[in-house]
Amino acid sequence: MSEVGLPLWLLAELTYRCPLQCPYCSNPLEFASMQNELTTEQWFDVFKEAREMGAVQLGFSGGEPLVRQDLPELIEYAHKLGFYTNLITSGLGFNEEKIAQFKQAGLDHIQVSFQASDPVINDMLAGSKRAFEKKNEIARLVKKYEYPMVLNFVIHRHNIDQIEDIIQLCIELEADQVELAICQFYGWAYLNRQGLLPTKEQLVRAERITNEYRKKLSDAGNPCKLIFVVPDYYEERPKACMNGWGSIFLTITPDGTALPCHAARQLPMNFPNVKDEKLSDIWYRSTGFNHFRGDAWMPEPCKSCPEKKKDFGGCRCQAFMLTGDASQPDPVCSKSDHHHLILKAREESERELALHELTFRNKKNSKLILVSKG
Ligand code: SF4
Ligand code: SF4
């Protein structure tokens, strides 16, 4: 096996609780059955061990991390350990008192996600009538407290045609960096893929407009950076998922399950839990983290492919979701025997599916999914 790297990037999914219900949420479909969140002390132990193992970046995500009442303590502890800390939030539940508290605790970075530039679509997608107004308020507070303004828009079929308005909104909010990320199809997004994947025509137009704005911003000396993330469903080669399995990313889920990526929980494998094992044993010795490390596991055509060091055979979760076998080449690759599944998904994106026909990520739907799975 190749040499094992350090878990430089720790993602702490503090909770699956969230006041919103985005139909593209990457949380597990069965989240309603997942309780027993780690305690404050257990998170402290995770941070300490991860830092000792060489972790440098710590992302607080969820669900909505703001619902954890101990978030200021977690931030402070991580900061004292020397982590660069990043809060990934929808903004709901945020206020000036909290942002001041987080600043005091040493939080380095905040990323606020928006659903759309149109308040009605934003709030419908979010499932909250106050979401858009609240996000604007938070974005302004982020600026006031001298954080870099980093906004994230998940782009899909129902908001991609408003890309111009989205960029305008970001400029008005004086964003420093905007991630225009076309939906990645995991969790609820995979369930809703047919209604979320933009058409090729929509994608080409959105990318052209983004490029035009990049030029305008640069000509005007505006430092705002627009990052356009194309969905791999329109590529012929897969993404280098997680920079390779068990290479630098370590995700800890709310109940302490350790994963090489946030979507891996769905794979038919056993993943260890920080309540039962030391983090270093999990990272270096567990089957879950070693199974797809390096390239010994690869079947053909990846095995003898000259590109295998570049993309590591793509995403294991995507291979599993589409083919039922996590050790297959990612079907995004045109060399995969299953690439026709991606072509079919592109064709399906031409069919109309209204916003209200999507399955929203909420407890009720999660419970229905659990019942249907028996
Ligand atoms: S994607 Fe939406 S529903 Fe999922 S955790 Fe984030 S804000 Fe909540
Ligand atoms: S065959 Fe495998 S390694 Fe080669 S480009 Fe495709 S996914 Fe990557």
Task: Quick: pLDDT tens for 159-186.
Answer: 999 999 999 989 988 899 999 999 999 9
Check pLDDT > 80 for residue 127: no
Q: Which atom of ligand 2 is nearest to the CA of 330?
A: 7
How confident is the model over 263-268, as a mean pLDDT?
93
Per-residue pLDDT, 123: 76
> Was domain 7-373 assigned CATH 3.20.20.70?
yes
* Mean pLDDT of all residues belonging to the chain: 93
**Tokens in use for 157?**
């079929």
In angstroms and rounded to an integer, the radius of gyration of the C-alpha atoms of the chain is 20
pLDDT mean over 75-101: 95
Given a cut of 70, is residue 111 above it in pLDDT?
yes
CB 52 within 8 A of CB 101: no
| Of 362, 359, 358, the residue nearest 128 (C-alpha) | 362
Q: Which residues pair with 258 in a beta bridge?
A: 252
CA distance 37 to 17: 10
Report d(CA 166, CA 209) in Å as an integer.
11
Query: From the alpha carbon of 312, which atom of ligand 2 is closest?
Result: 3
Quote the pLDDT of residue 373: 82
Q: Find out whether 60 and 74 touch, Cβ atoms under 8 Å.
A: yes
Q: Is the pLDDT of residue 57 over 80?
A: yes
Q: Cα 7 to chain center, whole Å?
A: 18
Which 3 state secondary structure label does DSSP give 187?
Answer: helix
**Residue identifier of the C-alpha nearest atom 1 of ligand 2:** 302
Q: Which pLDDT score is estimated for 329?
A: 96
Whole-angstrom distance, CA of residue 150 vs CA of residue 143: 10
How does residue 47 score in pLDDT terms, banded at 50, 70 and 90? very high
25 appears as a binding residue in the annotation: yes
**Whole-number pLDDT of residue 124:** 78
Per-residue model confidence as pLDDT tens digits over 339-357: 999 999 999 988 888 888 8
Handedness of CA 124, 128, 129, 134 (dihedral sign): negative
Contacts of 149 (CB under 8 A, 6+ apart): 139, 142, 143, 173, 174, 175, 176, 177
Reply yes or no: is the peptide bond before residue 260 cis, omega within 30 of 0. no
| 224 among annotated binding-site residues | no
Quick one: how far is CA 247 from the chain centroid? 17
Among the listed residues 228, 233, 265, 200, the one whose alpha carbon sits nearest the alpha carbon of residue 330: 233
Residue 317 marked in a binding site: no
Q: Return the pLDDT at 205.
A: 97
Identify the residue with better confidence: 42 or 92: 42
**Where does residue 97 rank: exposed (0-12), middle (13-18), buried (19+ CB within 10 A)?**
exposed
| pLDDT given for residue 35 in this prediction | 83
Antiparallel, parallel or unpaired: β 225-229 and 249-252: unpaired
Is residue 1's pLDDT more than 70? no
pLDDT confidence of residue 2: 56
Residue 91: the pLDDT is: 86
Residue 278 phi, psi dihedral angles, 5° rounding = -70, 145
341: tokens are 């599944």
pLDDT of 374 > 80? The answer is no
Any idea how long the chain is? 374
Angstrom distance (rounded) from CA 157 to CA 174? 26
Q: What residues are paired with 246 via a beta bridge?
A: none
Neighbours of 258 (CB within 10 A): 23
pLDDT above 70: percentage of residues in the chain:
99
- Residues 321-332 have a mean pLDDT of 96
Mutate to test the pocket of ligand 1, among 13, 87, 90, 358 (most ligand atoms within 8 A of CB): 90
* Protein residues whose CB sits closer than 6 Å to any atom of ligand 2: 237-238, 301-302, 305, 307-308, 311, 313-314, 329-330, 333, 335
Beta bridge partners of 180: 153, 228
Q: In the chain, count of helices (H) and strands (E)?
A: 15, 9
> Where are the domains positioned within the chain?
7-373
The single-letter DSSP state of residue 323 is: H
Token look-up 């257990």 returns 42
Within 10 Å of residue 287's Cβ, how many Cβ atoms?
10
Residue found by looking up tokens 């704005």 in the block: 213
* 228 CA distance to ligand 1 middle (Å): 20
For the sheet with 177-182, list strands across it: 225-229, 177-182, 150-155, 109-114, 84-89, 57-61, 9-13, 249-252, 258-259
Say if residue 271's pLDDT is above 60.
Answer: yes
Residues near 146 by beta carbon (within 8 Å), at least 6 away in sequence: none
